Structure 1
């Protein structure tokens, strides 16, 4: 089955290809002729995910799925959430991490969760899947794998950050893999 994954993020694409395996022929935005930046103008993770998937369906007529993810920090009342990618003022992961660490400097509660929502538009119908993983935020970065807030996030039940795990290790437990497992189960009858 052919599907478009509505992303330009090479790290996400690599993670998802590893999760989906050979069951689906995954097309990129570029491969379907989409060169523009997809809209992400809602104020929720769910809304942005849906907005991107519906945009691809409406403009290119291709079955597709899109995801949106965010880091929700308890001590910051769920921030950065939907604004995770630009929390430091631009799409710079080091700037985002620096702002989080600064805001948590005096916080005793360092609990947080990553949340991913995937929206699938299949033959014009919309389906959503959510994956969550909880953990703790460190006071300093560790590891060089992954992207985003991975160097400061230690999942509950683990001692290493996402950035200290291989893509396969992270893929077994991450918020994204949990949401994608639901997507893959849903798509099984179509493969």
Structure 2
């Protein structure tokens, strides 16, 4: 198959997949990408069929249906102490030398209506020393600007993943098989 024909087939396949996508609205605003929305932030999902009423309301792009997503907030919580992310902020405050073994901590946290970070659950911890240091850094972190819904502060959640030292791979898990 020549390159031009292959490119046309790939392009047609991409268009056909895109054409089969429903139309997404997040908090009333059209959205192309919903994959980055954390599932815990979703309050309600409503699926509208590709019928005459839906197409009349939303236009021809709704010919594959419409998915309306309502988030638990209108404006997400923002950690304004770091331009990149809460995870980067915490990682920079944890002392973990390059010669130390690679370790990871994953925590679920809640941001209160006052902007305080409360650790709710330990999802993973490969080293208790790193966990203690991460918990201390979270406790000492500046407050967030809380999420807002209808102009009022609301609680929100997040997941913090810290793996140190940066760039060092985690050791493979050893599996013991007894026969």
Q: Given the two structures, how large is their TM-score scaled by the length of structure 1?
A: 0.23
Larger RCO, structures 1/2 (Cα 8 Å, 6+ apart)? 2
Please say which structure displays the higher CA radius of gyration: 2
Q: Given the two structures, how large is their TM-score scaled by the length of structure 2?
A: 0.24
- Judging by fraction of residues, say which structure has more strand: 2
- Judging by fraction of residues, say which structure has more helix: 1
